Amino acid sequence: MRELEARYPESLAVVGVHSGKYITERETPRIRDASIRLDAIHPTLNDRQFRVWRAYAVRAWPTLVAIDPAGRVIGMHAGEFTAEALVSFIDRTLDDARSAGTLVEGGKHLEPDPPTIAPGELAFPGKVELEGRRLAIADSGHHRVLVGALDESGTRLRVERVIGDGTPGYRDGDAPRFRHPQGLAFRGDLLYVADAGNHAVREISLASGTTRTVAGTGHQLRTQRDLAAGALSSPWDLCVVGDSLHVAMAGIHRLWTIHLDTGTAAPSSGTGAEELHDGPHAEAALAQPMGICVAGNALAFADSESSAIRLADLSPAGGVHTVVGTGLFDFGDVDGVGDDARLQHPQGLAAAADGRLLVCDSYNDSLRWVDPSSRRVTTWVRGLHEPEGVALDTRFAYVADTNAHRIAVVNRADATVQPLAIER
């Protein structure tokens, strides 16, 4: 829709209708924050009781309803679409409306509402990555990446390098630009970035700040032609195992692997169907994976749309199995074991030395421990603001507390929380 809004600024009016699947998604302040975070430039209606959904006989997310200037429904489309696929339809509709004298042109500017909490040094940070005392932050709302060193206390970061000038864009080289960067992964003096808004994976030289694209074209994968050109779709998180960079590819419900020695990239788990289905890699179905980490001989990932934590074997001969989660519409806030436990749209996770996973249970504003061996879920910290990413050391958990615009430092000994102090 952003492409169409830019193409027809004086003649096309867009109104978002948000009919939230999750309970948390029906809260107006959260919808406001999400709209700001995603740079939405049109008004959004909170259809929390699904009244508009039912009035227009909508049955799927997303659904596009086209209404002409006379107020008549002239078309509907359920599912994803490209801007180009709608251009001829919009042109014909505008021509007809101009001929009939019903089109009133001229864009109407609406001032956006302020966020619930005002950004500061950070704006909607998405992910955080830790290696020794070196910490990287995806400052997603500012379209940049911060890298620095923690002091001895572990609660203060001295920023050593800022990559990105704060302007959204897609540019490699010595003055790179990013668009809503998310997942991060260190590999020696290189830092890999899931540049989600540009549908690309980027590599930053920490010595120079020089950036290059290792996968993706800057455009979203939608067609076979896009796939052949090397396009990706919403890469959201990363982890490195040897010469392989594993990608949680949220937009097409798959895990991908980029072979860093050859530069080749291909799906490694999932059919592309949005579902919770275990089985061999080529037969399993995932649902918007948004967090990934190494867990022993497997990749643990947060399968956000199924509110699940799942494991994908590193061996190509293995497969995918679910630790917690039972389906696309099964979610909640319940501790327990196995199928009795419930999460709500988790988006990040990190593996502890004892084998447990610390999960950002984003829509429950909490951190939960998940034990893959026993399948037990235990709530550890509450009162966060849609946390999306987490990194662990022996003393602290560093949490991208997204809607609070901070990195929260959680003491592992007593679960106390304080903001990370950031110094230039």
The reported pLDDT for the residue numbered 15 is 93
Most confident of 83-87, 107-111, 245-249: 245-249
Rounded Cα–Cα distance for residues 353 and 259 (Å): 27
- Give the model confidence (pLDDT) of 338-364 as tens digits: 999 999 999 999 999 999 999 999 999
pLDDT classification of 83: cutoffs 50, 70, 90: confident
| 128-423 and 2-100 share a CATH fold | no
Contact indicator for 417, 381 with CB cutoff of 8 Å: yes
The reported pLDDT for the residue numbered 186 is 98
> Residue 138: left (phi > 0), alpha (psi -120 to 50), or beta?
beta
**Domain-by-domain residue ranges, the chain?**
2-100, 128-423
Q: Which residue has 């630790």 as its token pair?
A: 323
The pair of structure tokens assigned to 39 is 């740079």
The reported pLDDT for the residue numbered 256 is 98
The reported pLDDT for the residue numbered 137 is 98
Largest CA distance in the chain: 72
Third-level CATH fold of 128-423: Neuraminidase (2.120.10)
Mean pLDDT over residues 367-379, rounded?
98
- Residue 171: is its pLDDT beyond 90? yes
Q: Superfamily assignment of 2-100 in CATH?
A: Glutaredoxin (3.40.30.10)
The reported pLDDT for the residue numbered 209 is 94
Rounded Cα–Cα distance for residues 216 and 389 (Å): 23
The reported pLDDT for the residue numbered 324 is 98
> Could you write out the three-class secondary structure of the chain?
CHHHHHHCCCCCCCCEEECCCCCHHHCHHHHHHHHHHCCCCCCEEECCCCHHHHHCCCCCCCEEEEECCCCCEEEEEECCCCCHHHHHHHHHHHHHHHHHCCCCCCCCCCCCCCCCCCCCCCCCCCCEEEECCEEEEEEHHHCEEEEEEECCCCCEEEEEEEECCCCCCCECECCCECCCEEEEEEECCEEEEEEHHHCEEEEEECCCCCEEEEEECCCECCCHHHHHHCCECCEEEEEEECCEEEEEEHHHCEEEEEECCCCEEEEEECCCCECCECEECCCCEECCEEEEEEECCEEEEEEHHHCEEEEEECCCCCEEEEEECCCCCCCCCECEEHHHCECCCCCEEEECCCCCEEEEEHHHCEEEEEECCCCEEEEEECCCCCCCEEEECCCEEEEEEHHHCEEEEEECCCCCEEECEEEC
Contact indicator for 356, 371 with CB cutoff of 8 Å: yes
Q: Please indicate, yes or no, whether the overall pTM of this predicted structure exceeds 0.75.
A: yes
Mean pLDDT over residues 77-87, rounded?
87
Rounded Cα–Cα distance for residues 74 and 356 (Å): 53
- Residue 110: is its pLDDT beyond 90? no
For 343, half-sphere exposure in the C-beta direction (CA atoms, 13 angstrom radius) is: 38
